[in-house]
Amino acid sequence: MSDPAVVVRNISKKFETTVALDDISFDVSHGEIFGLVGPDGAGKTTLFRILTTLVLPDSGTATVLGLDVVKDLWAIRSRVGYMPGKFSLYGDLTVAENLSFFASVFRTTVKEGYNLIAPIYRQIEPFAERRADQLSGGMKQKLALSCALVHRPDILFLDEPTTGVDAVSRREFWDQLHTLRETGLTIVVSTPYMDEALRCDRVALIQGSRLLEIDPPEDIGRNYPLPLIAVTSSDRYQLLLALRESPHAHSVYPFGAELHFTDDRAGADPASVAAELEAWMKSHGFTDAAAHPIAAGIEDSFIDRMSTPARRAS
Amino acid sequence: MNFRVLRALLKKEYLQIFRDKVMLRQMLMMPFIQLLLLSSAATFEVKTARMYLVDNDHSETSRGLVEHLRASGRFVVVGASPSMEPANDALLSRDAGMILGIPHDFERDIVRTKSAKVQLIYNAEDGALAGVTNSYAQQIISAYARDLGASLRPMVAESPSIDIRTRGWYNQALDYKDYMIPGILVQLLTIIGTLLTAMNIVREKELGTLDQLNVTPIPRSAFISAKLIPLWTIALVELAIGLTVARFVFDVPMRGSLLLVFFAASLYLVVALAIGLWISTAVDTQQQAMFSSFFLIMIYLLMSGLFTPVRSMPTWAQWIAEVNPVKHIIVIMRAVLLKGAGIADIARPLTILAVSGAIVLSLAVRQYAKTSR
């Protein structure tokens, strides 16, 4: 178990003229939840398709469970569970038929895999005779996860599993992933949502086909390079416009009920920057405006990276 | 091949097929409707030709000729006049389909020279229709001439010189249905074999289920077999339904062995299914699959001898027809059903089907392997 569960080295992939992945390298350890976080079109799905042996990389190597994704595809296929981004089960088959079909093609039975899937499958078992296309989004996702798990894979690839699922089901889903991790399962999951990134053990930020940073989610904001100030005001929109024109604005964007202001003077003392900013705002007519320094979160970090990829790359 | 996996895949395919009630109903109705429409509506038979009469003789003999044509039931007189002008107008306005012109000296010429002329003018906008009408008229007129020869014999020395007697073998009544129905059944097999196979596989591509299947240890051989076997069986069931309808509703003769018909159809279906598989590897959507299949099927059917005889095609087209599996299965179906041909009589087309089945299937499987991982 000393080798990493997934090893990706210098993987690149082009589709005609579009670069989908550009020199990607990372490792995933056994038993961790590894998140690939990035906007749509960042290349996450292509990476999943390479790791699940569906697509060949143009260059670079990758192994899953020590098996080469190009040469050992059949060995990989019987040991991974894959849940594509789009619901890809048979809508015209019932819940039970889908599950037993996927068990059979992995040369096993639902009974043998039941222990592992029970916490998830039990919730949809009352609808076992319902056609899969008549399930709600959350139930479809549970069925898909059950089908991906029924053969007791050693590693699970989940491509944006919570897209189109309500907030409660999303939270439940992540609780289930943590339960699964307890059994020793390695999970590689992609998501466009920052709150979900926080529930991964490690996160890889991916954008524009490049990997930006790999860290535990709580560490991702740690390297935020500039002073970050949270600003509140009753007139948020006018303030946003005004702050963008202020002397040291690097970036300003709404964040929940606040605005997050990044000062362009690296190394400046955040407290004095905040005080200076508050004074500037008051002098510009935003009498109720308040500013205080904050630590950057993963979302701030991500927005920063997305807006200035060139600075990171250099 | 792992039979447990194959069984699971087959079970899934049959479940899906039998759950799609709309498709199932259509597949069951298709043989009935196609046979009914194509065999009784799409026929070259000309029931009644509308004839305009220009009789300038007004003799016993000319009236006899018209009477013969009318008595055949194939001709009705829609107008008559002594001059050609109104006759031409009737032809132009499509009130009449043909003009029968009888010259002034018709009876006299027959009595004196034992030969006379009549004029037949057709509206040949539809060439096939005019041709068929002409051949009916010729038959009736020459039969009438024979009758006249017989009745005139006491007065004249010679009987009419030419006597053509036609006899259609294997389809004595020249029944259009007998000729068309075996071909229509082949068309049915082709549509199910090629179109449904291509659509069925591409649907999995479209839905994304193919990706899900590909990240399982399902061997390609099992996947392809599970796709082809159900449609192969369904096509044979369709053929059975079609043959039953043909036998008991249309009274199509079945002189040869039905077992041989099914054997040949099974071989032919391998080709049709493999073409469907091939199409599925080249396209990404069901719409594209449908279009490509229709395009191919149209060419196949037009160049197969189903509607027009292969012998009347130009040489290059005859060569294409030679490698067209549809042509060979139609030859076999007609030979076995209408002529009662045995396996030795159809050995050549049967071999061609078997060989093309093996070639096309292996090419299609290779292509499938190339386009999927």
Distance CA A288, CA B64 (A): 116
Minimum distance, in Å, between the CA of residue B203 and any CA atom of chain A: 11
A303 occurs within a structural domain: no
> What pLDDT score does B24 carry?
87
Report the CATH number that the domain containing residue A236 is assigned in CATH.
3.30.70
Question: Which chain B residues are closer than 8 Å to A73 by Cβ?
Answer: 373
Which chain A residue lies closest to B6 (C-alpha atoms)?
A105
0.80 exceeded by the pTM?
Answer: no
Q: Looking at the structure, do residues A249 and A125 belong to the same domain, yes or no? A: no
Instruction: Place B94 in a pLDDT band, splitting at 50, 70 and 90.
Output: confident
- Please tell me if residue A129 touches chain B, with a CB cutoff of 8 Å: no
Domain for residue A290, yes or no? yes
Q: Residue A281 falls within a domain, yes or no?
A: yes
Q: Identify the pLDDT of residue B161.
A: 36
CATH number, domain of A135, equals: 3.40.50.300
Give bridge partners of residue A262 from the DSSP assignment: A228, A251
Structure tokens at B27: 């597949």
Amino acid found at A57: P
A59 and A173, same structural domain? Answer: yes
Query: Which residue numbers of B have CB closer than 8 Å to A's CBs?
Result: 2, 4-5, 7-9, 11-12, 15-16, 19-20, 207-209, 211-218, 373
Dihedral class, residue A187 (left if φ above 0, else alpha if ψ from -120 to 50, else beta):
beta
> Do residues A269 and A206 share a domain?
no
Domain that holds residue A31: 6-217
Query: Which residue out of A95, A105, A130, A134 would a mutagenesis test of the B interface target, given it has the greatest number of B Cβ atoms within 10 Å?
Result: A105
Say if A92 is an interface residue toward chain B (CB within 8 Å): yes
What span, in angstroms and rounded, lies between the C-alpha atoms of B104 and A101?
86
Residues in a beta bridge with B120:
B100
Mind listing the domains of chain B with CATH numbers?
Answer: 3-42+173-371 (no CATH), 49-152 (3.40.1710.10)
Q: What CA–CA distances, in Å, run from B185 to B5, B135, B263, B264, B330?
A: 33, 29, 14, 13, 9
Measured CA to CA, the distance from residue B159 to residue B153 in angstroms comes to 7
Are B16 and A92 an interchain contact pair (Cβ–Cβ within 8 Å)? Answer: yes
**Separation in Å, CA B79 to CA A284, B48, B51, B67, B95:** 102, 15, 7, 14, 9
Q: Provide the ipTM.
A: 0.82
Digit-coded pLDDT (tens) for B112-157? 877 777 888 888 777 777 777 888 888 888 888 877 775 544 343 3
- Quick one: A281 and A201 in the same domain? no
| One-letter identity of residue A48 | F
A215 beta partners: A203
Answer yes or no: is A272 within a domain.
Answer: yes
pLDDT at B281 over 70: yes
Element housing B69 (H / E): helix B60-71
Q: How far does A101 lie from chain B, in Å, by closest CA?
A: 6
Cβ neighbour number for residue A181 with a 10 Å cutoff: 16
Q: Within this chain, do residues A30 and A166 fall inside the same structural domain, yes or no?
A: yes
The pLDDT assigned to A71 comes to 93
Q: CA–CA separation, A280 vs A277, rounded Å? A: 5
Cβ atoms A53, A76 nearer than 8 A: yes
**Under an 8 A CB cutoff, do A54 and B5 touch?**
no
Element (H, E) at A156: strand A155-159
**Minimal CA separation from A143 to chain B, in Å:** 13
Q: A286 and A154 share a domain?
A: no
Report the gap between the CA of B302 and the closest CA in chain A (Å).
Answer: 37
Test A104 with B5 for CB contact under 8 angstroms: yes
Structure tokens, B359? 């070639």
Task: Please give the tally of structural domains in chain A.
Answer: 2
Distance from CA of B233 to the nearest CA of A (A): 21
- Assigned domain for A299 exists: no
For A107, which residue in chain B has the nearest alpha carbon? B5
Least confident of A207-211, B27-31, B105-109, B145-149: B145-149
Query: Any bridge partners for residue B75, and if so which?
Result: B49
- Smallest Cβ–Cβ distance between B215 and the set A52, A92, A97 belongs to A52
Contacts of A87 in chain B (CB under 8 A): 208
Question: What is the CB-side half-sphere exposure of residue A265 using CA atoms within 13 A?
Answer: 12
Number of H helices, E strands in chain B: 15, 4
Helical axes A167-182 vs A110-121, angle rounded to 10°: 130
Q: What's chain A's length in residues?
A: 314
Asked if B209 and A88 come within 8 Å (Cβ–Cβ), the reply is yes
pLDDT digits (tens, 9 = 90+) for B41-69: 656 666 788 899 998 888 888 888 888 88
Shared domain for A84 and A145, answered yes or no, is yes
The rounded distance, in Å, linking the Cα atoms of B83 and B69 is: 21
Q: Inspect the interface and report whether the beta carbons of A88 and B207 lie closer than 8 Å.
A: yes
Q: Does one domain contain both A145 and A233?
A: no
pLDDT truncated to tens, each residue of chain A (314 aa)? 468 999 999 999 999 888 999 999 999 999 999 999 988 888 899 999 999 999 999 999 999 999 999 999 999 999 999 999 888 999 999 999 999 999 999 999 999 999 999 999 999 999 999 999 999 888 999 999 999 999 999 999 999 998 888 888 899 999 999 999 999 999 999 988 888 988 999 999 888 888 888 989 888 877 788 899 999 888 888 888 899 888 888 889 988 888 999 988 888 888 899 999 999 999 988 888 899 999 888 888 888 877 764 443 33
Is the residue at A205 inside a domain? yes
Taking CA atoms, what residue in B is nearest to A86? B208
CA dist B100 and B85 (Å) reads 13
What does B135-159 look like in DSSP terms, one character per residue?
Answer: HHHHHHHHHHHHHHHHHHTTTSS--
Residue B370 has pLDDT above 90, yes or no: no
Separation between Cα atoms, residue A135 and residue B34, nearest integer Å:
39
**Do both A60 and A167 map to the same domain?**
yes
User: What is the structure's pLDDT at B45?
Assistant: 63
Q: In residues, how long is chain B?
A: 373
- Whether B346 contacts B336, CB under 8 Å: yes
Are residue A213 and residue A241 in the same domain, yes or no? no
> Is the domain of A171 the same as that of A247?
no
Cα distance between residue B145 and residue B143, in whole Å: 5
| A133 and A189 fall within a common domain | yes
Q: Report the percent of chain B where pLDDT is more than 70.
A: 90
* Residue A199 within a domain: yes
